[in-house]
Amino acid sequence: VEQLGSVYIVSNFATHSIEEIAAAAPKARKWFQLSIFKDRNISAAFVRRADVAGFEAIVLSVDISVVGKRRDNRRKQFALADDIEIFSLPKTNFSISKKESSAVHVDEILDQSVTWKDLKWLRSITKLPIILKGIMCPEDAKLAIEYGARAIFVSNHGGRQLDSVLPTIQALPAIVKAVSGRCEIYVDGGVSTGADVFKALALGAKMVFVGRPILWGLSVDGQKGVKRVLEILRDELDSTMALSGTPEVTDIYRKNLVHRPHLGRHGRHGRNGICTLV
234-272 confidence digits (pLDDT tens): 999 999 999 999 999 999 998 889 877 654 444 444 444
Catalytic residue from among 16, 105, 157, 269: 157
- Point out the least confidently predicted range of 53-62, 111-120, 135-144: 111-120
Our CA dihedral for 204, 5, 218, 46, rounded to 10 degrees, sits at: -80
What is the rounded CA–CA span in Å between residue 73 and residue 278?
39
Domains of the chain, CATH where assigned: 7-277 (3.20.20.70)
| Residue type at 193 in one-letter notation | T
Residues of the chain by 3-state class (helix, strand, coil), percent to 5: 40, 15, 45
CA distances for 129 relative to 88, 121, 135, 141, angstroms: 21, 13, 17, 16
pLDDT tens digit string along 203-215? 999 999 999 999 9
Q: Taking the model in full, what pTM does it have?
A: 0.85
On the question of pLDDT at 99 being above 50, the answer is no
On the question of pLDDT at 165 being above 70, the answer is yes
CA distances for 78 relative to 70, 72, 85, 99, 198, angstroms: 10, 8, 15, 8, 34
Chain length of the chain: 278
CA distances for 185 relative to 20, 43, 168, 188, 213, angstroms: 29, 24, 12, 11, 21
Measured in Å, how far apart are the chain's first and last C-alpha atoms? 31
Burial of 265 (0-12, 13-18, 19+ CB in 10 A): middle
Q: Does 262 qualify as catalytic in the annotation?
A: no
Helices (H), 110-211: 116-125, 138-146, 168-179, 194-202
The SS3 assignment for 173 reads helix
Q: Strands 57-61 and 130-135: what pairing?
A: parallel
pLDDT tens digit string along 10-54? 999 898 999 999 999 999 999 999 999 999 999 999 999 999 999
